[in-house]
Amino acid sequence: MVNRRGNTEMGCLSWLLILAIIVYVGMHVGAPYMRYYRFRDAVDQQVRYATFRSDDAVREEIWAAADSLDLPEEAYHVTVERAPSEIRVFGQYVDTWQLFRYSRPVHFKLNVTGPL
């Protein structure tokens, strides 16, 4: 006869709990890194199309990307340098990840160069 009392294996539940903890920690700790990669991608796109735009227009689009990603104030302070054959955008900022009551600052440096 089969015993059908509704018992579950603790192994399965413990693996689900471990998976949930990993996802939770990954979302909170990984969020600043994900914002940085999205910001870098937006800056890279602006550098790619900079031949058709002025430095001020490129800077304004970078500011809009920083604003939409809700980055810290330092991310808005980017420098756009244009040479005869290339354009360079660089800056740096500090973001923070938080997990419960523990927080840690993370330093990000942005340096994107592209041809004109």
Classified as helix, coil or strand, 90 is strand
Cβ partners under 8 Å of residue 106, min gap 6: 32, 33, 94, 95, 96, 97
Contacts of 110 (CB under 8 A, 6+ apart): 39, 40, 43, 78, 89, 90, 91, 92, 93
Is the torsion defined by CA of 99, 100, 105, 109 positive or negative?
Answer: positive
Q: What is the pLDDT of residue 22?
A: 92
Domain residue extents for the chain? 32-115
* Residue 99 confidence (pLDDT): 85
- Residue 23, pLDDT score: 92
pLDDT class for 6, splitting at 50, 70, 90? low
Alpha-carbon gap, residue 31 to 79, rounded angstroms: 25
51-102 pLDDT, tens digit each: 889 999 999 999 999 999 999 999 999 999 999 999 999 999 999 988 888 8
What is the reported pTM? 0.81
CA 55, CA 81: separation in Å to the nearest integer? 8
